[in-house]
A and B are shown apart, each in its own frame.
Chain A
Amino acid sequence: GAVVSQHPSWVICKSGTSVKIECRSLDFQATTMFWYRQFPKQSLMLMATSNEGSKATYEQGVEKDKFLINHASLTLSTLTVTSAHPEDSSFYICSARGRGASNQPQHFGDGTRLSIL
């Protein structure tokens, strides 16, 4: 089946640091990738949708200058949390979808736990 690799799986860093998370589709071309954030005991909240070669579409309330998304190729999208602060600590998950309409299934990475001290 389709595989999505997300790295790193765990990050602990100091306040003010910028953190980059990578999401790779290993065996298919991901024309669309999604980034989610999940707080403890809550559901996944969509942060942004990125299509290869174009700017990401951010959900309402998500700061685009804070959460930089790049989808430069059909197999890689990155999320950079700039100048991270403790309130940015969360579980971040990416997903990828192949070519075709929105009726294609999503495939998820294993997530990144981000802890800002």
Chain B
Amino acid sequence: GIQVEQSPPDLILQEGANSTLRCNFSDSVNNLQWFHQNPWGQLINLFYIPSGTKQNGRLSATTVATERYSLLYISSSQTTDSGVYFCAVVIRGYQKVTFGIGTKLQVIP
């Protein structure tokens, strides 16, 4: 089956710092989404980005489909950015979604 690897698994940032989270996947994808799971378990959809670059405020994401990776950039981090960030993909020809293991981010004041 498809492999989805996220790095780093854990990250601690000082408030105001920038960071890059990475998602590698082992096959061609139709769909890639980045999610933020807050401490209450809610999954917030950040980006739907099977290819290209998107920006939303302090967050941006880039997917290079031909090289099978996606990056999530967080700039000027805030304590409210804390939580787990998941990458989820759907491979071509299938409808099943596969999640990575997530990156646990802690932003400290």
Contacts and interface: CB of A to CB of B under 8 A. Distances in A.
Nearest to A44: B99
Interface in B22-49: 30-31, 33, 35, 40-43, 45, 48
Interface residues of B, number: 23
Interface in B41-62: 41-43, 45, 48, 50
Nearest to A38: B41
Interface string A74-117: 00000000000000000101010100011111111011010000
Interface string A30-59: 001010001000111110010000000000
21 contacts: A1-B45, A43-B99, A43-B100, A44-B88, A45-B99, A46-B97, A46-B98, A46-B99, A49-B96, A91-B41, A93-B41, A103-B30, A103-B31, A105-B33, A105-B45, A106-B31, A106-B88, A107-B45, A110-B40, A111-B42, A113-B41
Interface of B: 30-31, 33, 35, 40-43, 45, 48, 50, 86, 88, 90, 94-102
